[in-house]
């Protein structure tokens, strides 16, 4: 009796654990790609200096993710990350009820095209076109409001870029 219970328990454990086969923490990356160099972010939008915030957020996201190590020189990296900012859009999404022409809330969206290339062969490992956005309320002036909202949109853009390029592996 004890033997049959022990056998049954063992079989149940084997079936339950077999569902976890192949699972690993932290995700995967392609064979031979452990380090990445981030080329300067290119800003093709009409909004000046947004590439600085996007670069900062991308570096933070890659370091936070931990699957790839950043390298300062392309020669020292297995892959090169290139990002081109293609669009910066500011849209009014809510208006004051008493003045239908005065915007009270805005949406800020940054669109980018990113490419991850093998540094030795130049082969494209992954490509992505994505955006990061945030909403914000009009504060004292629009310039200050946009400046305060930009880090949130850049953070979301960096998250999506890293997820799109690395998760495909």
Q: Which residues of 143-167 are buried (b: 16+ CB within 10 A; e: fewer)?
A: eebbeebbebbbbbbbbbbbebbbe
pLDDT at 81 over 70: yes
Mean pLDDT, the chain, rounded, equals 86
C-alpha 131, offset from chain centre: 9
The structure tokens listed for 122 are 């130049």
What's residue 22's pLDDT? 47
CA 121, 122, 127, 133 dihedral sign is: positive
Instruction: With CA atoms as reference, report the closest residue to 128 among 169, 96, 98.
Output: 169
Instruction: With CA atoms as reference, report the closest residue to 167 among 57, 26, 60, 36.
Output: 26
Render pLDDT for 100-134 as a digit per residue (tens, 0 to 9): 677 889 999 999 999 999 999 999 999 999 999 99
CA angle 60, 127, 79 (to 5 degrees): 60
CATH superfamily of 32-167: Lipoprotein like domain (3.30.160.150)
Residue-range domain boundaries for the chain: 32-167
Measured distance between the N- and C-terminal CA atoms of the chain, rounded to whole angstroms: 49
Render pLDDT for 6-54 as a digit per residue (tens, 0 to 9): 666 665 665 655 555 444 455 555 567 899 999 999 999 999 999 999 9
């Amino acid at each position: 009796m004890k033997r049959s219970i022990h056998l049954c328990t063992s079989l149940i454990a084997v079936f339950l654990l077999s569902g976890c086969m192949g699972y690993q923490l932290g995700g995967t990356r392609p064979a031979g790609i452990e380090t990445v160099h981030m080329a300067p972010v290119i800003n093709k939008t009409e909004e000046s200096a947004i590439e600085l915030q996007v670069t900062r957020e991308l570096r933070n996201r890659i370091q936070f993710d931990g699957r790839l190590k950043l390298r300062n020189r392309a020669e020292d990296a297995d892959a090169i990350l290139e990002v081109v900012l293609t669009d910066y859009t500011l849209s009014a999404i809510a208006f004051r009820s008493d003045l239908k022409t005065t915007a009270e809330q805005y949406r800020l969206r940054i669109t980018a095209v990113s490419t991850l290339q093998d540094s030795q062969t130049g082969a494209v490992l992954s490509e992505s076109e994505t955006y990061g956005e945030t909403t914000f309320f009009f504060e004292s002036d629009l310039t200050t409001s946009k400046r305060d909202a930009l880090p949130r949109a850049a953070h979301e853009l960096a998250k999506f870029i890293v997820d799109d390029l690395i998760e495909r592996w």
